[in-house]
Structure 1
Amino acid sequence: MSMERVEAPATLLTWLADRHVWESTTGYDAAGWQSSTWVLHSMYENASLAGLGTHDELHRHRLESGDLAPEIVGGINLDEDTTNTGIPLGFVVRPGSPWRRALWSQHLTDGPASDRSHPPCHRWFPYRSWPVAVQPPPEGSLDEESLDALLDTLSRWSVDGPGTDCICGPWTGPGLSGRTTTFSAPR
């Protein structure tokens, strides 16, 4: 299904104004629905990068070689005491070849590092920093593939079918911050 993206008035999401501030960074739970489901964000693998270590190891190598400048915020070098997990933030587009879609089940373990007492998130996986060969699922925003699948499913079950407008937002990420968007299928 090919969706059209258009700017929508921010007033379409005024119901978000009454939500707790902490929800704005972790997602919004609009209570009162008859049912709900989890959308597990897409992750991808590139077999040609297997064995190259973790995202943090690669990040530290690039810092040491001068290929990358340290991340300094308020005079504090964030790279000294943080780990680059490889988990992307914000809207992630579907990567091209040679990246292939991977299933969550391929990376889950039942060991002590996996904490499934929380909703599906980074705690379910054994990695502190993901292997470079894996683009882990983003947190805090749907990726392109998951958004397309969600909109396709919603339009099949909506009264107006593919002509149903789906309001999404507010978006975060480069050039998207605070925008509300309407996606609708061509009529």
Structure 2
Amino acid sequence: MKIKIGFILLFFAFLLTSCSKEKQNHFNQYLDNFDVIETEKTIDDGENYTFETPSDWYLTMFEQRNNINFEHAYSKDNVNRFTVFKIKSDEDLNQLNETLIEDIKTQLSLVIGGLEILGHGETNFLKHPSYYYHTQDASGFNVVSFIMKSKQNDHYYRVIIEAEKEHLPTMLHCIKTFEILK
């Protein structure tokens, strides 16, 4: 009887460990196949954050009323891109994530055909507690969105990757260097 109880407890411990590792490893499956490219450190104008971008990419910076800032790094063909928003909100991280998920679901309902949700939930992929949402369309184009708290009260970062399937590993490798400065 003790052996059965021990086996059952061990089995449930294994399941819990497997599930938590699966959640943490969602992006690690892509990192094994990234192309080594020349990158440069990008720091936004307000010195709020930094991350590596491919050295031949273009950068633009905008200030908006509702979002404190918005930065866009994109490839020469303007297909693959990083977008970073610094958002002011009275909601906590979980509430803001729920609001963004509802917005994403509304946007997804407008898209016709073949969009697949590859993963969503909590992650520490960017070295900060955050939530992510990862979709892919029928042609293999990926959109990955992260939301995390900044070091300032009531401010959050939303980091979005838009990438063709073959470029996603390299872009994930670059965005993994995302560092919150303030």
TM range (shorter): under 0.3
TM-score, with structure 1 as normaliser = 0.24
TM-score, with structure 2 as normaliser = 0.24
Q: Which has the higher contact order (CA 8 A, sep 6+)?
A: 1
Judging by fraction of residues, say which structure has more strand: 2
